[in-house]
Every structure is written in C-alpha cells, then in structure tokens.
Amino acid sequence: MKLKPTFYQQSDVVEVTKLLLGKSIFTQFNGALTGGIITEVEAYSGRNDKACHANNGLRTARTATMYNAGGCTYIYLCYGIHHMLNIVTNTEGLADAVLIRAFEPTTGIEQMLERRKQSKLRNSLTAGPGNVGKALGLDFKQHNGLLLTADQIWIEDAPKVAEESIISTTRIGVDYAEEDALKPWRFYIKDSKWISKK
C-alpha cells in the first residue's frame, strides 16, 4: 500500500508532483491517525528554479534535507507560524520537492478539528499549506526529514488521476522568483472543493 522509495526517486519532479494527486497521506503521532486524499500540490526544483529554497545548489541547515534521496519529508517554518509539508523527490544530491497544499480529509477528522481549533468541518480545515501542516500535527523541528517508509508519516498508493482532471496554474506566493514565478507547476484536481483557491 505505501508508496516505495523508487516512486519518489523518479527524476522528473513535475511528473511525480502530478502523480501524487489522488494518493492518500497519513500521519500517526501518539496513537492519533489522521489524513486524507491529496488534492493540490506544487513542484519545486533545485536546479533552474528561483522559487526553490535550494536553487543553484544552495545548501544551508534548512535546505539540507532536500538533498536527501527521494522519499522523506522536508518541513520548514514559514512566516513564523506555518509548518509547510513537502515531499523530497529525485536521488541524493538533487534537491527537488513537492509542496502539499491541500487534501480532502478522510481519516481522524475529529482529531484534525481539534488541532485546528474548529468545530465544524469545512474547506478551510485542510486548504492551504499552513493549514495542512497544522491539521496533520506537523512540527518542523520534530518531523523534518522523516522517511515515508516509516510509521509516523507516509503516503498510500491509489489509481492515477486522469490527465484531463488535472488543472495546472502558476504557483502561489512566489512572486519574488521573477521569470520562474511563471512556471505552471501548481496542480489540483478539477471539481474538488478541497483546494485552497481557483
């Protein structure tokens, strides 16, 4: 059921990003199992992409885990508040990653509502990368670099989403990346209401 390292280690990040749509992501911390179906993602490449933290081989304490072999997490803190979940892809030394921007909650909804301090289930529970990290209970200090073959966080396989059901647009919040901000590397499932925005 769990996706294998070979899946994440494919060389084309954009391809892996699209393949992740429709798959299910789960976290399990102190007995609480939470997760759902991935509906919105973005690709970031370590080479030739100014929007990526590790562009041009930039290697710092923060970006180090992006250089790991595909199949682990890259979680970082954004705007001092949000813990963003990325999936590291490609082989060791090549810093590519996929940002999980939204998912459709299916498992542990009660637990996720509690983490988000909400009482009613609505789209905003898991729409937007900051909300995804919070709903799944992620913390960049505790969960960065975890292997997806272990039992804390993982992704399970599912049938491929048809090409005609995938919408691609430019990525969100990367205006600083100049011409690379124009790359159509954000993908979401057409007709899903569990996405951050149209």
Binding site for DNA (CB under 7 A): 42, 44, 51-53, 58, 60-63, 74, 76-82, 84, 86, 97, 99, 116, 124, 127-132, 171-174, 176, 196
Q: How far is the CB of 25 from DNA (least distance, A)?
A: 15
Q: How far is the CB of 170 from DNA (least distance, A)?
A: 12
Q: How far is the CB of 143 from DNA (least distance, A)?
A: 14
Comparing CB distances to DNA, the nearer of 8 and 163 is 8
Q: How far is the CB of 61 from DNA (least distance, A)?
A: 5
Give the per-residue SS3 of the chain. CECCHHHHCCCCHHHHHHHHCCCEEEEEECCEEEEEEEEEEEEECCCCCCCCCCHHHCCCCCHHHHHCCCCEEEEEEECCCEEEEEEEECCCCCCEEEEEEEEEEEECHHHHHHHHCCCCCCHHHCECHHHHHHHCCCCHHHHCCCECCCCCEEEECCCCCCHHHEEEECCCCCHHHHHHHHCCCEEEECCCCCCCCC
Comparing CB distances to DNA, the nearer of 105 and 129 is 129
Comparing CB distances to DNA, the nearer of 1 and 81 is 81
Comparing CB distances to DNA, the nearer of 63 and 90 is 63
